[in-house]
Structure 1
Amino acid sequence: MTQDSVPQPYGTPQVPRVAVRGEARLEVDPEIARIGITVSARGTDRRTALEDLTRRNAAVLELVKGYGEAVEKLETGTFSVTPELTRHGRSERIRAYHGRVYLTAELADFTALGELTTRLADLELTSVDGPWWALRPDSPAHGEARRQAVLEAVQRAREYAAALGSELSALVELADLGAEDAGPLPSGPGGGSFRAMAFAAEAEQPPALDLEPQRQSVYASVNARFTMTPPRL
């Protein structure tokens, strides 16, 4: 095997290579929104705290499920009942019990989202966190960002080749460095958050909260290597 027939990672004078990176960043509307719901209870004995927590949790579940298909996912995260201790002399006594249930809801109907958040916040000892805006994992926006990143890589390579009086002849390698949502994380606090707590339900339904969806950044990057015709130097 001659030296010219051995693949050269950086090309040869007869078959030079050009390596470029293509990037793309899109700003798109979110597709889903998640909210966190915390239901609390406090009682002087464990049974009272559990009964109140169960009742309030059932009210929250009934309210959220009442929105039907507007709620795509409803999950219970953590549950806890913790004693509150108080000191009297050298002994410790239980002063009260605190109960808590944390739930998450995912919606694609943002009109229903504004109404649901205010109705939840109007419930007894119920707090709401969010919304956290996001794209679906299979959103077409990810594919479009990757496509534009590849087009930019090809354009860059052509411009470099043209500067040398050459033309691209073949693609040698295309390395996908990933396309990721650079917006707020769906599972944690981010921009556009809302938090409220209410201690007593009102007789009338509260007005819906007007929420403005936060646009999401979608980023993609690729590395590409091309062969080109010999330059005219």
Structure 2
Amino acid sequence: MAIPTPAHPQPAVPYGTPDAPRIAVRGEARLDVDPDIARIGITVQARGRDRHTALDDLTRRNAAALDLVKSYGRAVERLDTGAFSVTPEQTRHGRGERVRTYHGTVHLTAELNDFTALGELTTRLADLELTRVDGPWWALRPDSPAHREARRRAVHEAVQRAREYAEALGTTLAALVELADIGAEGPQAYPPPSGRMRSMAYAATAEETAPAPLDLEPQRQEVHAQVNARFTLVPPRL
């Protein structure tokens, strides 16, 4: 049998001993909090009998949508342009590759932190020509204090649970051996939509009045944290 030396220390025992019994517990916390941001998807479309007409109309409508979103200033934290496409539609009958019309599409994503502005912006966007609005998708920021609070509560629960087990044995905790974060996640960045906010595709006329802002109720977000903790106990008298 090898004798431990400073150069070859005895490996750590992965379990407790009679002189240093171990206890393993799990701590969990779930918080229900208001969202920080909301995201909406904007789809701008155009069509024309020739490619130039479709592109010109798409460029004009895309610029109108971008200008409208940007007019809300600091309420908009992020604005991204996604996929862009111009697709020819061929005639169903007849010989040859004859193009009937061209379809143009641009996808935008906007992220807002002001939910009052969100309701107004969505209705104004949906009122634009051949423009569709999807969402909103509610979320927390990655650095939201809610994540930190959930982790803190999970650790406190693990310590409290370990103390209760120790008290049941008539002893106390001696030291913390290990604390493992096995999950501290909030909602997905882009949760699946529960339904389309409003989708419209029509040509607005001068006689039409501006639509009333939508009254949107933010969806509460669940934050979950979970830890595993191991402690040593003062040897109990059994």
Q: How does 1:32-43 map to 2 (within 5 A)?
A: 32-43=37-48
Q: How does 1:1-233 map to 2 (within 5 A)?
A: 1=3, 7-181=12-186, 183=187, 185-191=188-194, 193-201=196-204, 203-233=208-238
Percentage identity across aligned positions? 73
Conserved? CA contact 1:130–1:189, under 8 Å: no
Conserved? CA contact 1:39–1:56, under 8 Å: yes
Secondary structure in 2 matching 1:208: coil
Secondary structure in 2 matching 1:159: helix
Q: Find the aligned partners of 1:156 and 1:193 in 2 and give their Cα distance.
A: 44
Matched positions, count = 229
TM (normalized to structure 2)? 0.92
1:18 counterpart letter in structure 2: I
* Cα deviation, residue 87, structure 1: 3.2
Cα 1:195–1:20 shift into 2, 3 Å: same
Q: Find the aligned partners of 1:110 and 1:193 in 2 and give their Cα distance.
A: 17
Q: Find the aligned partners of 2:104 and 2:92 in 1 and give their Cα distance.
A: 21
Secondary structure in 1 matching 2:159: helix
Q: Find the aligned partners of 1:6 and 1:96 in 2 and give their Cα distance.
A: 75
* Cα deviation, residue 195, structure 1: 3.0
1:102 counterpart letter in structure 2: H
Q: Find the aligned partners of 1:109 and 1:26 in 2 and give their Cα distance.
A: 22
Q: Deviations over 1:25-83 (max 9, x none)?
A: 10000000000000000111100000000000011011111111111111101100000
* Cα deviation, residue 206, structure 1: 1.0
Structure 1, unaligned runs of 5 or more: none
Secondary structure in 1 matching 2:15: coil
Cα 1:159–1:32 shift into 2, 3 Å: same
* Cα deviation, residue 165, structure 1: 1.3
Cα 1:193–1:165 shift into 2, 3 Å: farther
Could you say what the CA RMSD is over the residues aligned between the two structures, in angstroms? 1.5
Secondary structure in 2 matching 1:153: helix
Pick the structure with more strand per residue.
1
Q: Find the aligned partners of 1:98 and 1:26 in 2 and give their Cα distance.
A: 46
Secondary structure in 1 matching 2:62: helix
Q: Find the aligned partners of 1:100 and 1:187 in 2 and give their Cα distance.
A: 22
2:177 counterpart letter in structure 1: V
Conserved? CA contact 1:132–1:193, under 8 Å: no
* Cα deviation, residue 138, structure 1: 0.3
